Amino acid sequence: MKKILVAVLPLLLLGACKKDITSLNDDPKNPLKVPASTLFTQAQRQLASNLHSTNVYVNTFRLFEQYWTETTYYTESNYNIKDNAIPDEQWTRLYTDVLNNFEQSRLRLPEYVLDENERKNDDAQIEIMEIYTWYYLVTTFGDLPYSEALKESITPKYDDAVTVYEDLLVRLDAAIEALDPSYPGFGGADRIYGGDIGQWIKFANTLKLKLGITIADHDSQLARTTIESAVQAGVFTSNDDNADYLFDSSSPNTNPVWVDLVQSGRQDFVAAKTIIDALKADADPRLSNYFTVNNSTSNQYVGGEMGTTNSFGAFSKAGTKITAPNFPGDILDYSETEFILAEAVERGYSVGGGSAQTHYNNAITASIEYWGGTEAQATVYLAKPTVNYLTATGTYKQKIGLQKWRALYNRGWDAWIENRRLDYPQLPPPANPVSDFPVRMTYPVVEQNVNGNNYATAAAAIGGDEVSTKLFFDKF
């Protein structure tokens, strides 16, 4: 840039021009000032994209949960996360692309949002999205940089995961209290609710419900008070409340599943035998919406084996719904809400009436309808002895866990968290696993190299930096 100024300056002087030349230092492709709303949208998009990505360097959880399996390259299906530095990518994206953008949006609010009440709503929306992002980090890694994160230091200390989690609950209550439906929010920059503050209040309470049930085995009393207060304040009551990030039909803001599977033309994944067999066994009406038939003349729903080579043409693939460029990125929904309420009833929490069976039925019906099925199909499905809450075998954790796993088909990260917490389904090991089923992701290699002392302290505190180390909420 200095060379450009040196070359241009003589010409300007010779022409006796008084034009301000400082603009020559501006890069039009990288503006110095980015509006708070733009950064908020970008952070929302990055979070939704990371949670739904099929890129194995970003999101391996559809494979861990045996919704999909791989064709030619099956490293990740066998739980090998270190060779491709997968934790590094997940860690970096959530800290840098998501949390940092939300923080930068917050810093710019005073400049771009002059009305104080509107600014409070915007700040609360940012806070809620940050809390949700922290939820994934702390349930994935355990102890982690929190109080000193997103600052200039490259060696932040690691905070205790339980302390972080409890602080997230405090922050969430404050954010809910700050929201005021009498004033606008981010408006069109909010790709989830379009700035509808009433809907954001309901979303935040439902997130609180989710955070509460996650720690039910760790701290039942805290879980109870968190869940009961969330329900009293008002949580999701239908699929109309779902927190869906709205992807576009054209690039660059498209559904990452479409980007990875259709636009790229890659043939890396097929349906896993585990989920296909489970759906077929109960004639689950979601089967045709989740998957295609295979490409052979048999026209059957067939799943591939985990952890080995699978012919792309011989097995079912992801269905046309999930691979549409504008299929929304569901980050929290009514079906999950009702599963949580069913579990809360079983745990003896007061959640406003309704039996565990009623909430369980509502959850399954909501999932079937979300994917294009009908209430009539749900009624038939719920009557099956293996599905009916009163006749299905197992504990409430088993019944809810198995059905929640099916409903979270396009939310592999959440399915992985729930599987660790509820211990169902009990998935068969892949062909050549390099470890037991991962119950956490290991810390990034870069943390070991750059922030070694704090890394070592954190690893020791949680019981070892291994995929087999259970985190605080995963008690059994």
CA dist., res. 186 & res. 195, Å (int): 5
Task: Show the tokens assigned to 26.
Answer: 């501006």
What pLDDT sits at residue 33? Answer: 81
Q: What is the pLDDT of residue 24?
A: 42
Distances (CA, A) of 81 to 228, 385, 416, 439: 38, 39, 15, 12
For residue 23, give the nearest of 1, 40, 43 by alpha carbon. 1
How confident is residue 297, by pLDDT bands cut at 50, 70 and 90?
low
Minimum mean pLDDT among 274-288, 294-308, 386-400: which range?
Answer: 294-308
pLDDT band (50, 70, 90) for residue 295:
confident
Distance between CA atoms of residues 252 and 41, nearest Å: 13
| Lowest-confidence region among 5-19, 39-53, 106-120 | 5-19
Quick check: 43 pLDDT over 70? Answer: yes
At 85-139, the pLDDT tens digits run 999 999 999 999 999 999 999 999 999 999 999 999 999 999 999 999 999 999 9
pLDDT of residue 5: 32
Task: Tell whether the model's pLDDT for residue 35 goes beyond 60.
Answer: yes
β-strands 269-271, 68-70 pairing: antiparallel
| Cβ atoms of 236 and 206 closer than 8 Å | yes
The model's pLDDT over 188-242, given as tens digits with 9 standing for 90+, comes to 999 999 999 999 999 999 999 999 999 999 999 999 999 999 999 999 999 999 9
Which long-range contacts link 177-185 to residues 24+ away (Cβ below 8 Å)? 178/120, 178/121, 178/123, 178/124, 178/127, 179/121, 179/124, 179/125, 179/204, 180/117, 180/120, 180/121, 182/117, 183/115, 183/117, 183/118, 183/120, 183/121, 184/118, 184/121, 185/118, 185/121, 185/122, 185/125
pLDDT at 200: 98
Sort 91 into a burial class: Cβ within 10 Å, 0-12 / 13-18 / 19+: buried
- Alpha-carbon Rg of the chain, whole angstroms? 24
In sequence order, which residues have a C-beta less than 8 Å from that of residue 6 and are 6 or more positions away?
none
How would you classify the pairing of strands 144-145 and 329-332? Answer: unpaired
What share of the chain in percent tops pLDDT 90?
A: 90
User: Tokens 């389904």 correspond to what residue?
Assistant: 425
| C-alpha–C-alpha distance, residues 438 and 423, integer Å | 12
The pLDDT mean for the chain works out to 93
pLDDT digits (tens, 9 = 90+) for 410-435: 999 999 999 999 999 999 999 999 99
Q: What percent of the chain has pLDDT over 70?
A: 93
The answer, yes or no, to whether the previous bond of 252 is cis (omega within 30 of 0) is yes
pLDDT tier for residue 11 given thresholds of 50, 70 and 90: very low
Mean pLDDT of 247-264: 95
